[in-house]
Structure 1
Amino acid sequence: MRFFKKYIAFIVLLGISLLGFGQGQITKIRGTVLDAETKEPLPYVNVSFKNTAIGTITSDKGEFFLETRSTADTLIISFVGYKTETIKIRKGVYQELKVELKPDAVELEAVIVKPGESQANRIIRNIIKNKDRNNPEKYTYSCKSYNKIQVDINNIDDDIKKRKVFKQFDFIWNYVDTNAVTGKTYLPIFITESISDYYHSADPKMEKEIIKATKMSGVNNESVAQFTGKIYQNVNIYDNYINIFDQGLVSPISNSGLLFYKYILLDSMFIGNRWCYQITFKPRRKMEPTFTGDFWVNDSTWAIVKAQIRLSDMVNLNFVNDMVATSEYVPINDSIWFPKQLTLFVDFNLTDKTTGFFGHKTISYSDVKLNAPFPEEVSEMPTNLQVEEGALNQKEDFWADARPFELTPREAGIYQMVDSIQQVPMYKTFIDIINMFVNYYYVVGYWEIGPYYQTYSFNEIEGNRFKISGRTSNKFSKKVMLDGFLAYGDKDNRFKWGVGSLYMINKNPRVALSVRYKSDIEQLGQSPYALTEDNILTSFLRRNPNNKLTLVKDFTAYFEKEWFVGLSNKITVSHRIIYPTQFIPFVSVADGSSLSNITTSTVTLNTRWIKDERYVSGEFEKVSLGSDWPEVNFDITKSIKGFAGSDYDFWKLHLNYYHKFNVNPIGYARLIIDAGKIFGKVPYPLLQLHEGNETYAFDRYAFNMMNYYEFASDQYASFYYEHHFQGFFLNRFPLIRRLKWREVATAKYLVGSISQQNKDVLQFPTGLGEVSKPYIELSAGVENIFKVFRVDALWRLTHLDNPNIEPFGIRVGLQIIF
């Protein structure tokens, strides 16, 4: 994914973080409540600021944390059976408390306990019964949204401050603070705010957002500004499952919540003029995808009034030490409660003691209008998200009036601090290094040199292959990108080369034009997502000699137009010459003569559709972040014999269906259905050469136990299903679950055929045939080994008599997953 070098660190951090008000400083309190006599921690103790509605309860370990912008200076700590404590606190600073409550002997009347459902469970059933009425996502509405995101480096200690590498950054230590949730010190490194008009339709499901103002420390770019809106940020307690990095965590008010949680009724009181109940919850079993916390619910509407949920211990989630989400709702009429403020805090660390990152997110809502029709200009927006002209240049007076609360001096100072950091030479060097490892390119002025992993490789055809490649940087142009490469093999003594250009006519919606030419070797029948043949890793991970490479001269031009979010067309014109080799000869069936090459000139129309797609855009590339809906691609290709030297006349149709979806609570799945048909007479290199894999690297989009040039078809259909169980089974074994390994299984099915007329064009290479008898392979594996490795055991179930095949194999993948 290609991004501008200055902002690459910001993109990495922001991608991770995505997921009562007054003025002045923030008061932060972290503490523990104990029994004064036994010194045992006391769970579910009420802790609140005096004369406010700001409060919390202690956890099972007796711990609590509170933050407020209010001017409150007194803490009230109360619990049934204990004397209430009143403690003075210091305003606007971080402080830690250890509170011991003294037992208070109270004589109670006799209580008769009868069997039956608890009061807490009856309340939960009422909440579930009324969820559709109370869920804001079930309504059509518009509102104004304020969004604030902050990213911090945590675990800042004196040893770090003394390191020579930070000598140029001494001025930043004035911004170090302490987090109330974790007790860790942290240094803010990024802050962004946005003000937007947000529109939500329940039926049909649709989101539209216009960002009116956005402000980012160290960044002033419209492509990045899209992340500051609400569309990319959502944690809704009314969902049955709250998705955090592909993990479907069970909501405490899920329809199946009683199977996963234990509930306790703690308290009841008026909030405003509404009588409410306080419920606390905790998981029934360890390592299940659940939360701990509490919420208040209104006794007449059964709507959530406020809630705090926290990631439960030992949830199988990588790099996330802690996560806390809070929500506060207000009534907008007699029956409907709507969010007033949502906050999310995430602690990212490799281990608890290493330096990591905090991500904070705050969303505030105002001017909520229910069932109001969308303005015409909003309904006709070609994209779901629009950054209004001038949004990046709003004055400070605007922000002072628009914010729902005033930034603290430390928060406001982050803008200036980050700008100062970017002027330090060491910072610029650090960003260049990060950019090289993330993007595989090293930036030098107007040029980006890379990808570096293609500099050297080796294969049977070329021997040692050396390659120099690069492209223009954003400093050269943000509208035009030029690229090229030069490669040489010391065995075939042949130079290969290529040049290309991409012109961005428009970025949102995307309209682009590209032209490129190459003369290089290719592996026909390789999946588009496999490691490229000139990747050094491919050279070392091969399980067969890669002597099936083919020289190809290819001229391609395309015009791409996105009509609106999710729907686009691409017209591609291609002139392609394929040359034979001693391993892949072109020999006529009719007379045994050899063909010097195969030439085609084709025009392809691609239609791509994915509803409600989320994406990230750089200056030239647009990368999909997926959708809850499937992605469908349909291609129509036409070649006319004699046109631009084409040797063949044919039509080719191709349909691809891809869907990644949650199967909560047992993980998530990928389903791919692929089908195609060729009309006309063509030689075998123009058939569908099914995607094999002759490396030990796992390739999701290939048949991993199939060789290259093993199967071809002129009509075919394939089915692929992959299920990630996310530790659903392994988490039940006490010794294994600490490893946090996760199960994964796949099934692949392929069937196809070749017409007789296509069999009679060229003699097939040894081993190539049709797949009228279905090809099937299965795999079972474990992922998340050391958090980055995946190992699969694969079984090939059919075509076991084919030459040079393996019925069983092990494949390894490298992946970073949460």
Structure 2
Amino acid sequence: MKGILTIVFVLLCSTLWSQTKVSGVVLDENKEPLPYVNVFFKGSTTGTTTNEEGEFYIQSSKNFSIISIVFLGFESQEILLKSKINKIKVVLKEDSTTLDEVIIVKQPKKRLKKQKNPAFRILKEIWRRKKKNGLSLVKAYQYNQYSSRELGFGNMDSLFMRKVLRNKFNKMKNYVQKNYENNTYYIPVELIEKSEKVYGNNSLGKIRRDIEGERKIGIHQLGKYVDRATTIFKEIDVYNDDIYILDKTFVSPISTSGFGSYDYVLSDSSIVNNRKEYTIHFFPRQKGDLVFKGHLKVVDKSFALTSIEMEILKNVNLNFVRDLSIRKTFLLKNDSIYLPKTNTYKGEFTFLTKNKKEKGIYLVKNEKFSKYVFDHEKSTDFYDVKIVQKRANQYKKEASYWKRKQDEKINETFQLVNKIKTSGKIKKITGTIYTISDGYFTPITGIQLGNLFTTTAKNDIEGVRLRLGFKTFKTNNDRFRILGHGAYGFKDKKIKFGLEARYLLSSQPRITVGAAYIDDVEQMGFTKFNERNLIPQPDKGPKAIFVRGDNYFLAKVKKKMFRFDVEIVNNFNMGIKFAHEKIISADPDRFSMAFFNQKNNKTINVTNDVYSDFYLNYQPGRVTEGFGVDRQLGTKLHPKLLINYKKAYKGIFGGNVDYEKLSILYNHPLPVGKFGVFDPTLIVAKTFGKTPLSVLTAVPSNQTYFLTPNTFALLDYYDFVADSSVEGHFEQHFNGLLMNRIPLIKKLGLRSLLTFRTVYGSISKRNKKINRSSIKYVAPNRKPYFEYGFGIENIGYGNLRPLRVDFIWRGDFKNVNGPESPKFGIRVGFKTSF
């Protein structure tokens, strides 16, 4: 009996772990690679096509003994496989019986005018219809969507694999995806699966998405840049003229302006399901531009896509991304409606260079669409319902549920991640990546220290200032979080600190509460708006290590704060903050913040500001993930509207000032196709009532050598003080468009930009009258103050290109406070971007 059970067990294991893997290259008789050749296992639908170098890789958990290779104009071949893992080279011969002439599709050396290009007629018909995915042609629709997102490490050698899998290495190595080009492995460390039911109504313009099941396994915490990279494959519609990926604007291959960015070649046509199907190949005209290379297939008469495959070139002006590919297929409902069938997105990201041998992170996302139903309309209220995730296991399903959804490849990945997730080696790597990305490290479970990149600053009050923060952290979805910091100045020899607690009170509607206490030195009048955190962000802006001129314009501040925030609808928040602040100049001899109280005829040096701060925050289109008190933000460009109304209360809890302040900010990055992104910000502010300097908003200046958003780089602190002001900050980022066209320079991967900033404002007589500070109140009320310049960004080496350098000039103004500000300056910015 035991023997029989042993045999059955061995047979079951061999069935579960059987797998056929084939990689290789397909060439013609002249040893030239053949792209887009169909390769599949005989007797199955599992297959692929060769890439531009004629290379391919396919695998299956089933045993296959033959692969078929088919390409129009060449003789088909069937190759007998000798083992479960094969690496082969195939040479195809021309088929003289089907074609008089065989054309190998390559980028043309001579460009045709679009009217003379055979592909133009077909593309023009695609533009004219622009049916997107066909769902817009029906009143109402619904369908099922299953998606999987696999995240892991690429180019890992066998030694690393042995350390991760240990005694399971020999058993499992054949079931890990392998890169046969350099004999390395792809190791999955996280897998997320999601099953959704989608309902749409075109008459109402509404879409409802219900998550039926979700499963996560593996190690997730890899840092904010990896988190943002995982959101790159959301809602990519190739029918749009522009495709937004990683906050960059790519020109779609079927854009109406595509002939300005692509070369097109109509390669052939074939009959598929009694319909004529054309194949069009597209190539970048300028290799460094944000465009793709690939091919699409389109059906005659309806001119709707049946499939599209595209990838970026290796030398595209994009950081950290070694490879990026998109494959979409569509199914036919009738002659006019083509619907999404499958989406496959792949990306590989490296830290230093784009070298194929460098270790990196890979991301694979698969989507499958099924069970379409049309014109079954629901009630209007039905589409407004939104199911919000409140707990981690809310969408938990049994294993049998996921087996019905998965294909064999996803099932294998799940098994691998389940075994790898406990690996100490993997946890060590993910922890290092998180520290490099976010600046935090975990000395003990549940506590993180950082940010390591903002520990040092300098000013004339504290001298060199050291700061270290902390936060509680179990998972990204913690409902409760405590964070704080401690700081020490080597000149004033004093310790400062801040402590904040935040709690997610409700998930639907989303309600958060927070409280904080701060005893620190701050730059007053530097910001007009309610920040996301009650504690100011780590030493940025005025508190930096490299500064120009004197900076003793600081105040000692003790704050007690409480905030209540509710998300009314998605990405529309309303909240109120109550605060008590005690403000006194950090150096009264050089920088007085005193004001005159006319009622008791006294000069007051200490400001007790008791106020409420009501705000609205609307950011339509913002991508968020997670359901904890802090959510992760995506990279998608979106507008932002902030409105703050602040009211101070004199006589309550010792308050000695009475004023009101209204501030409005609107920012709306606008993609302008291949010309990059235009990023304008408008700020309007008005203060009512008698307001001392300690709580009056100065025109935001910047005396560091670093760029700070929405500030003026060539103004000193308190050069301008205004109780009414209008600001405009405008930047045009060309994303390499200009630099890519300059010989020699284009190899450096630089990007250019233009900047213009201006402010117009005034100061009231009543505020001038109560002023007893050492600052003279001056406002840009006769003519606007402005700064203009140009910059170069994406400076660095390999993938590490965080540096931006701006060259800035300013208009003339009469300086009355302190030394004359510089008329020209060079400022540096640091921003890690793709």
The normalised TM-score by structure 1 is 0.85
- 1:792 is matched with which residue? 806
> Letter of the aligned partner of 1:131 in structure 2?
K
- 2:125 is matched with which residue? 126
Task: Give the Cα–Cα distance (whole angstroms) in 1 for the partners of residues 144 and 169 of structure 2.
Answer: 39
**Cα–Cα, structure 1 residues 256 and 55, in superposed 2: closer, same or farther, change >3 Å?**
farther
Identity across matched positions, percent: 26
CA contact (8 A) 1:497 1:519 kept: yes
**Cα–Cα, structure 1 residues 557 and 337, in superposed 2: closer, same or farther, change >3 Å?**
same
Deviates more, 1:551-560 or 1:593-602: 593-602
Q: Does 1:597 align with 2:597?
A: no
- 1:20 is matched with which residue? none
CA contact (8 A) 2:525 2:695 kept: no
Q: State how many pairs are aligned.
A: 782
Q: Does 1:709 align with 2:710?
A: no
- 2:322 is matched with which residue? 321
- Pairwise mapping of residues 567-582 of structure 1 onto structure 2 (< 5 A)? 567-580=572-585, 581-582=588-589
Task: Give the Cα–Cα distance (whole angstroms) in 2 for the partners of residues 298 and 26 of structure 1.
Answer: 36
CA contact (8 A) 1:382 1:509 kept: no
- 1:685 corresponds, among 686, 694, 698, to 694
- 1:545 corresponds, among 538, 541, 550, to 550
**Cα–Cα, structure 1 residues 485 and 707, in superposed 2: closer, same or farther, change >3 Å?**
same
- 1:783 corresponds, among 793, 801, 807, to 793
Shift of 1:686: 2.4
Deviations 1:588-646 (A, max 9, x none): 56999642212221112111222233213463323543666522111122223222222
- 2:107 is matched with which residue? none
- 2:444 is matched with which residue? 444
Q: Does 1:415 align with 2:417?
A: yes
Shift of 1:260: 2.5
> Letter of the aligned partner of 1:670 in structure 2?
D
SS of match in other structure, 1:123: helix
Deviates more, 1:100-109 or 1:572-581: 100-109
Task: Give the Cα–Cα distance (whole angstroms) in 1 for the partners of residues 383 and 365 of structure 2.
Answer: 28
Q: Does 1:664 align with 2:652?
A: no
**Cα–Cα, structure 1 residues 770 and 523, in superposed 2: closer, same or farther, change >3 Å?**
same
> Letter of the aligned partner of 1:721 in structure 2?
F
> Letter of the aligned partner of 1:565 in structure 2?
N
Task: Give the Cα–Cα distance (whole angstroms) in 2 for the partners of residues 251 and 691 of structure 1.
Answer: 40
Deviations 1:340-359 (A, max 9, x none): 11101112223322101221
Task: Give the Cα–Cα distance (whole angstroms) in 2 for the partners of residues 804 and 125 of structure 1.
Answer: 60
Deviates more, 1:482-491 or 1:572-581: 482-491
- Pairwise mapping of residues 51-66 of structure 1 onto structure 2 (< 5 A)? 61-63=53-55
SS of match in other structure, 1:346: strand
- 1:297 is matched with which residue? 298
Q: Does 1:141 align with 2:141?
A: yes
Shift of 1:657: 0.6
Shift of 1:276: 1.7
Deviates more, 1:710-719 or 1:440-449: 440-449
Shift of 1:451: 3.9
SS of match in other structure, 2:563: strand
Deviations 1:53-95 (A, max 9, x none): 7777666655556667896933234453x55444345796463
> Letter of the aligned partner of 1:236 in structure 2?
D
SS of match in other structure, 2:116: coil
CA contact (8 A) 1:611 1:627 kept: no
SS of match in other structure, 1:548: coil
- Pairwise mapping of residues 99-498 of structure 1 onto structure 2 (< 5 A)? 99-101=91-93, 104=96, 117-132=116-131, 135-136=134-135, 141-158=141-158, 160=160, 173=173, 175-179=175-179, 185-202=185-202, 205-218=205-218, 233-349=234-350, 350-352=353-355, 353-374=357-378, 378-382=382-386, 386=389, 390-403=393-406, 405-407=407-409, 410-421=412-423, 424=424, 426-437=425-436, 438-452=438-452, 457-465=457-465, 469-474=469-474, 478-498=478-498
Shift of 1:498: 3.5
Task: Give the Cα–Cα distance (whole angstroms) in 1 for the partners of residues 803 and 397 of structure 2.
Answer: 46
Shift of 1:478: 4.2
Task: Give the Cα–Cα distance (whole angstroms) in 2 for the partners of residues 332 and 751 of structure 1.
Answer: 59
Task: Give the Cα–Cα distance (whole angstroms) in 2 for the partners of residues 559 and 46 of structure 1.
Answer: 59
**Cα–Cα, structure 1 residues 374 and 727, in superposed 2: closer, same or farther, change >3 Å?**
farther
**Cα–Cα, structure 1 residues 330 and 539, in superposed 2: closer, same or farther, change >3 Å?**
closer
- Pairwise mapping of residues 648-663 of structure 1 onto structure 2 (< 5 A)? 648-663=657-672
**Cα–Cα, structure 1 residues 252 and 376, in superposed 2: closer, same or farther, change >3 Å?**
same
Task: Give the Cα–Cα distance (whole angstroms) in 2 for the partners of residues 568 and 537 of structure 1.
Answer: 28
**Cα–Cα, structure 1 residues 200 and 642, in superposed 2: closer, same or farther, change >3 Å?**
same
Task: Give the Cα–Cα distance (whole angstroms) in 1 for the partners of residues 204 and 460 of structure 2.
Answer: 56
- 1:39 is matched with which residue? 31
Task: Give the Cα–Cα distance (whole angstroms) in 2 for the partners of residues 68 and 130 of structure 1.
Answer: 39
Task: Give the Cα–Cα distance (whole angstroms) in 2 for the partners of residues 272 and 388 of structure 1.
Answer: 47
Deviations 1:174-207 (A, max 9, x none): 6532258998632222222111112345566544
CA contact (8 A) 2:247 2:635 kept: no
Shift of 1:543: 1.6
> Letter of the aligned partner of 1:631 in structure 2?
K
**Cα–Cα, structure 1 residues 504 and 105, in superposed 2: closer, same or farther, change >3 Å?**
closer
SS of match in other structure, 1:644: coil
CA contact (8 A) 2:758 2:787 kept: yes
**Cα–Cα, structure 1 residues 430 and 157, in superposed 2: closer, same or farther, change >3 Å?**
closer
SS of match in other structure, 2:767: helix
Task: Give the Cα–Cα distance (whole angstroms) in 1 for the partners of residues 741 and 23 of structure 2.
Answer: 33
**Cα–Cα, structure 1 residues 183 and 525, in superposed 2: closer, same or farther, change >3 Å?**
farther
**Cα–Cα, structure 1 residues 537 and 737, in superposed 2: closer, same or farther, change >3 Å?**
farther
Which segments of 5 or more consecutive residues in structure 2 lack a partner in the other structure?
1-15, 102-111
Task: Kindly report the root-mean-square deviation, in angstroms, between the aligned alpha carbons of the 2 structures.
Answer: 3.9
- 2:68 corresponds, among 70, 75, 78, to 75
> Letter of the aligned partner of 1:545 in structure 2?
D
Shift of 1:541: 1.4
Task: Give the Cα–Cα distance (whole angstroms) in 2 for the partners of residues 106 and 169 of structure 1.
Answer: 51
Shift of 1:329: 0.9
Q: Does 1:639 align with 2:631?
A: no
CA contact (8 A) 1:29 1:65 kept: yes
Task: Give the Cα–Cα distance (whole angstroms) in 1 for the partners of residues 770 and 833 of structure 2.
Answer: 47
Q: Does 1:615 align with 2:615?
A: no
**Cα–Cα, structure 1 residues 242 and 26, in superposed 2: closer, same or farther, change >3 Å?**
farther
> Letter of the aligned partner of 1:815 in structure 2?
K
> Letter of the aligned partner of 1:776 in structure 2?
F
Deviations 1:406-456 (A, max 9, x none): 4466324223223332xx3x5555555554442535342454444455655
CA contact (8 A) 2:739 2:752 kept: yes
**Cα–Cα, structure 1 residues 575 and 338, in superposed 2: closer, same or farther, change >3 Å?**
same
Shift of 1:728: 0.3
CA contact (8 A) 2:247 2:637 kept: no
- 1:3 is matched with which residue? none
**Cα–Cα, structure 1 residues 25 and 119, in superposed 2: closer, same or farther, change >3 Å?**
farther
> Letter of the aligned partner of 2:335 in structure 1?
D
Shift of 1:546: 2.4
